[in-house]
Structure 1
Amino acid sequence: MNDTNWQGPWDCAELASWLVYQTSGLLYGTRTREDNRFADAFTGYWAAQAQWDNATVDVEDAAQILGAFILRKPRPGKRGHIVISHGEGGTLEAHSRKRGVVLESLAGRCFDFGILVPGIAYAGVTRVCEELEMLRDAS
């Protein structure tokens, strides 16, 4: 996570977690959240952490927020997928070893929810850890 010059190859969760770490210094969507040398990114960890943090939003809303993450949770026998919204209905995502990191569209694709990582300010949206803690404590 701490290699600023890493250029892949990536899987989708690795790219998403690496971008969060490079932008904010936060480990997100990883199995360990204490030591960046051992952080293991996985869409299942992204789903669990986002739900725990109350950091989920509708896919349609996330599609309009630059830098929001959009997730399809892993299911038995099926992989999950996570992409980064470019704010206009498209994505930046790790596609495959052959295609690498690509720009794609969200149109016609199935995702479960968007994620606004706590502690990152998004254009038009402010989400900070303290606000999320208050929401979690109130429930």
Structure 2
Amino acid sequence: MAGGAGVGSAIPEYTEPNLVTTLRCDSANPLPGPDIPIHVDVFNQIPFPADGLPGPAISLIASNRAQPAILDYTIETRVSWRNLASGRSGTVTVPTRARTVTWQVDLHPGPGPVAFSIHQKIGVMAFVPMVGATTSTCGGRATA
């Protein structure tokens, strides 16, 4: 082996996603009781999205920060988006089943400002999904 410096490479350091905003996307409750307060955290600059597709991406993560319900909620979340710079658009639909209203949707709109609409359908699992289903809509913007 000849003397000299070796060449090495390293994996880039993971960068934290950027919290853009937190939206309120409240929904009527399919169970008796008050409306469900739903907070949606909007992140951008995500190099490794949870859906496994290449980044960067915008990630929407919802939670209602409440005590778990007796029954499971069944949730269908549909997010329609439009990149205002390129004109690209798309829709992502994610089904979820959990004791609290929670879901995550990753968007891959390309670079530029993005407008999106969140459509939530929330029911309960009582032998079949979506019993007493309610719907709600909200929206926001982020830059990819």
- TM-score exceeds 0.5: no
More strand by share: 2
User: TM-score range, shorter-chain basis?
Assistant: under 0.3
Larger Rg: 2
More helix by share: 1
